[in-house]
Amino acid sequence: MKAILDKEAIRIAYCAADLPYNLALQCVRTCNLVLQCVRIGEEEIAACDGFILAKRPIPTEPITGEVILVKAKDILEVQRKWKAKSLTIESDSIDHATITDEASGNTMETELVRGNFPNISKLFPATNVKAHAALSRHYLALISKLTTTDEHIVKLKVREATEPVEFTIGKTRGLVMPMFVNWEEK
């Protein structure tokens, strides 16, 4: 299998590598390698840690239904070390893969994770959406900066797509104006 990861696809690995604080406290006892890896195959990359799931389409060769599990920390290590903007991950065995920085040609060998990744297609709710709102990622990042070391939960209240989304972080409360988007557009 061969997969090409652009900058946005590489970022998916953060979902598995940056464990939440409360999960990190229990990591020695409960975390396993499957939740610390990314799933690559079937023309997508996916990562989850038990609290967050993210997936994104990517080009893969050959398209045979083959899936590999790569340690998220290895992908991020290569990206940080070489400032990679595009990586190629190739595997022709069940045990190892090669991660290559497209710009520099630098490579790193990694051991693949053996295990079963959660069936992510079944994780997305099939129920009808009650309310939706499109928020700027800039403002979501700004909201996260309002937290202290003791506050880990951001509460969001969505009323209507055109009304402000209310957020609460500890004792901090505020509103974020929604963006207008075409919800039918993929």
Q: For residues 115-134, b (16+ Cβ closer than 10 Å) or e, as one string? A: eebeeeeeeeeeeeeeeebe
What is 2-122's CATH topology? DNA Polymerase III; Chain A, domain 2 (3.10.150)
Using 50, 70 and 90 to split pLDDT, how confident is the model at 34? low
Query: Above 80 in pLDDT, residue 19?
Result: no
What's the token pair of residue 111? 């051991």
pLDDT tens for each residue of 72-126: 889 888 888 998 889 999 988 889 999 999 899 999 999 998 888 878 778 777 7
Phi-psi region of 59 (alpha: psi -120 to 50; beta: other; left: phi over 0): beta
Q: Residue 89: is it exposed, middle or buried by C-beta count within 10 angstroms (0-12/13-18/19+)?
A: buried
| ∠ CA 10-16-13, rounded to 5° | 0
| ∠ CA 90-102-118, rounded to 5° | 40
Average pLDDT, the chain: 80
Using 50, 70 and 90 to split pLDDT, how confident is the model at 15? confident
| Domain map (residue ranges) of the chain | 2-122, 125-186
Using 50, 70 and 90 to split pLDDT, how confident is the model at 25? very low
